[in-house]
Amino acid sequence: MKTLSSEEVFDASKNGFSTYGKFFKAVAKEIGMERALELHGSGYEDYGPVFDEMFKTLSLEELSANVGGMLTSLGYDVKISQTSNSVIATTHRCPEYEGFKEAGLDHETIKKLCLRSIGSIDASLQKLGANGGISINKYRSNNDDYCIEEFKNK
């Protein structure tokens, strides 16, 4: 079995997000942007228990390795660092952003999609009384910028 290069992984992920972005645009046109964003966010709620388990069972170093590995395996160009109680993921090249752009979504809509995704995961974590939380501390201003996500272990 051939191992994919990071560029091939990025392109595959970007293509998936582009296809989803086209579908999202059609849904938003039919039912309205706010309802489409609500439905989009609901698709991420199941990640709450996954991250809750990671926060409960992994050391900060293990959490760093898992978050970095997960994002890299999905094609994100990410740099992982740590604070005393959190993992910081700084994403430069983002297949999600580039795929949504390719689908014809504008910057503000893409930002809403990303914030809704992370917000839904974090809301799910909070409902569980989780040991941690996830937030976007900085959102890119354009394709050449970067985002900073924080996976905070309380």
* CATH number of the domain to which 88 belongs: 3.30.1380
Which residue in 29, 24, 44 sits closest to 103, CA to CA?
24
- Does residue 119 lie in a domain region? yes
- Does residue 138 lie in a domain region? yes
Phi, psi of 130 (to 5 degrees): -60, 160
Q: Identify each DSSP E strand in the chain by its residue range.
A: 78-82, 86-91, 132-138, 147-153
pLDDT of amino acid 138 = 98
- Does residue 113 lie in a domain region? yes
If you ran DSSP here, which 8-state letter would residue 140 be given?
A: -
- Does residue 58 lie in a domain region? yes
Into how many domains does the chain fold?
1
| 59's tokens | 């050391």
Q: Which domain holds residue 50?
A: 6-153
Task: Read off the pLDDT band of 153 (50, 70, 90).
Answer: confident
Q: What is the pLDDT of residues 65-95, one digit of tens each?
A: 999 999 999 999 999 999 999 999 999 999 9
- Section 46-71 average pLDDT: 95
- Does residue 44 lie in a domain region? yes
Give the integer Cα–Cα distance in Å for 48 and 137.
18
- Section 40-51 average pLDDT: 95
| 42's tokens | 């609901």
Handedness of CA 112, 113, 119, 123 (dihedral sign): positive
Task: Read off the pLDDT band of 50 (50, 70, 90).
Answer: very high
Q: What is the pLDDT of residues 87-119, one digit of tens each?
A: 999 999 999 999 999 999 999 999 999 999 999
- Does residue 1 lie in a domain region? no
pLDDT of amino acid 143 = 87
Distances in Å between the Cα of 89 and the Cα atoms of 44, 52, 127 are: 18, 18, 24
- Does residue 65 lie in a domain region? yes
pLDDT of amino acid 154 = 77
pTM attached to this predicted model? 0.94
